Homo-oligomer: A and B are copies of this chain.
Amino acid sequence: MPKEVLFDEETVLKKATALFLNKGYNGTSMDDLTKATGLSRSSLYNSFGDKHSLFMRCLTYYQAGEHGALSDAVSNIASPVKRIKAAFRYLVDVILKSGTGNGCLIVNTTAELATVDKEVCEFVFRNTDIIEHLFTQWVKEAQQQGEISKTFTPTAIARHLFNTYVGLRISEQSNPDKKFLDDIVKVALSVLV
């Protein structure tokens, strides 16, 4: 039987993801990745394929992590409007507590690669769809329970919420200030009436 793998795959993904998040895809070299993960070149290639494959793994790993964290933060909130507000308060909280101002890997990747990398393009499109549907569900709930008016369609409001999210992920990098982000959330969520 083969020698077993000595490293924890998730630990490696976590460190690689942090690196990509900080320096971007093109700004991160395989040398950086070996140093950050502690793995040698061959181990990295053997376990994750080439740089692009590793990056795609990081993207899905990051996506799952973010989605899980958000679920944990708001899943027990019954009121859909309160759930939406809590989600954005949670987001601002995470941004300020991380302190790095690195933004979101998926948003950053959209800006860096969406127009030149087909695989990335498909990923970010799917991701957009997933978030839009999640928000749409929440808004639909809110309208059915009479928490907010039916002036706009659930989809339209969901898209606005998505846009507010990605905006915040850029804004945190150009002006990582609590008042700035709070102002954005306060006004953006005032449409939920």
A27 to B127, CA, bound (A): 23
Q: Are A174 and B124 in contact (CB under 8 A)?
A: yes
Q: Are B187 and A116 in contact (CB under 8 A)?
A: no
Give the Cβ gap from A27 to chain B, nearest Cβ, in Å. 5
| Chain A residue total in the interface (Cβ 8 A) | 52
Taking CB atoms and an 8 Å cut-off, the chain A residues in 131-172 that contact chain B are 151-153, 155-157, 159-160, 162-171
Beyond A22-B115, A124-B174, A151-B190, 11 additional pairs, beta carbon < 8 A = A24-B111, A24-B112, A27-B112, A101-B115, A103-B115, A107-B170, A128-B171, A128-B175, A152-B190, A162-B184, A163-B171
25 contacts between A and B (CB under 8 A): A24-B111, A26-B26, A27-B112, A101-B115, A103-B111, A107-B111, A114-B173, A124-B174, A125-B175, A128-B175, A129-B175, A152-B190, A155-B183, A156-B183, A156-B187, A159-B180, A159-B187, A162-B184, A163-B168, A166-B166, A166-B167, A166-B171, A170-B170, A188-B188, A191-B191
